[in-house]
Amino acid sequence: MNYRKKFCIAPGTRVRLKDFDPDFSDPGENKKSALAKIAKLQQRMDQLQYQLYAESKRSLLICLQAIDAGGKDGVVRHVIGAMNPEGCRVISFKAPSPVELAHDFLWRIEQHTPRRGEVAAFNRSHYEDVLIVRVHNLVAKSVWSKRYDQINDFERRLAASGTHILKFFLHISKQEQLQRFKRRLDDPARRWKISEADYSERELWDSYETAFEDAISKCTTEDAPWFVIPADRKWFRDLAIAQIIVETLGRMQIKLPEPSVNIAEIRRKYHATVKEAESAK
């Protein structure tokens, strides 16, 4: 199955999340087969990222958004973690600091966009300023409603400078979220992740769903597409995202740079050094 084609939201689409099954999985896959494919995709991803880093002409930005317990951290560990940290950064955006609040909402984002040759993964992103800001009325509607166009302009500028953009909404059901909260309660190693906000935010589920629908609908473009990824099954979530990332990097037709030295001369010196070392034995 071509997951890019299956889950990509076309520009101009009016998204209704109730039309997407969060428990969907490829009928031809199961957990065992998916894990084997993910391992192969991780190897290919590592190779392509190495080439991107060496080429140093373009970059990749991956944005992860989800309702609480949607699996952003899991994607970072099990998919993006396959890439070499030398050319890949993960940035988690928490509540903005007073300094960040004193600037335009994109100011703190701009500082973390990927350099040429780099992959940057945003765990939450600039979309928080049309999500949590909207749901909690942190700024007036007259302010946040203008941000969709500002975000599109921002992403268009990044794309024009050579940054490829992938945006993933990890779509889980309300029932699955509650089960994940329970697993955190039952697992001593994961209880540190529990907060009272987990349950208070859950009461705002419908408001968040509407905010996500608007963000995806208004901000999916050819240059920066949104993908709605079924995420109730973690193994399928990881398989779909890994395939889309690998396919995107492959489409870039990355070329390794030519050597900056005379290879024939370097090879001659190498053989001379080896011969000298053998003679000295």
91 vs 189, residue with greater confidence: 91
pLDDT of residue 178: 94
- Per-residue pLDDT of 102-145, as tens digits, reads 999 999 999 999 999 999 999 999 999 999 999 999 999 999 99
DSSP state, residue 133 = H
d(CA 71, CA 169): 10
Which secondary-structure segment (H or E) carries 80?
A: none
Virtual torsion, Cα 257, 258, 260, 265, nearest 10 deg: 150
- State which amino acid sits at residue 56: S
Query: Does position 247 have pLDDT exceeding 80, yes or no?
Result: yes
The Cα–Cα gap between 65 and 79 comes to 15
| Residue 72 pLDDT | 97
**Per-residue pLDDT tens digits for 13-63:** 999 999 999 999 999 999 999 999 999 999 999 999 999 999 999 999 999
Please count the other Cβ atoms lying within 10 Å of the Cβ belonging to residue 164.
Answer: 20
Task: Choose among 231, 228, 235: nearest CA to 79.
Answer: 235
| pLDDT at position 216 | 98
Buried-exposed string 73-100: b where 16+ CB fall within 10 A, e elsewhere:
ebbbebbbebbeeebbbbbebeebeeee
Average pLDDT over residues 182-193: 88
Domain at 3-279, CATH from 2.40.128.20, 3.40.50.1100, 3.65.10.10, 3.40.50.300 = 3.40.50.300
Q: Read off the pLDDT of each residue in 221-249 and give the average, rounded to a whole number.
A: 98
Residue 174's pLDDT band (boundaries 50, 70, 90)?
A: very high
* Averaged confidence pLDDT in the chain: 95
Asked if pLDDT for residue 192 goes beyond 90, the answer is no
> What per-residue confidence (pLDDT) applies to 58?
98
Instruction: Give the global pTM.
Output: 0.94
Residue 274: per-residue pLDDT: 82
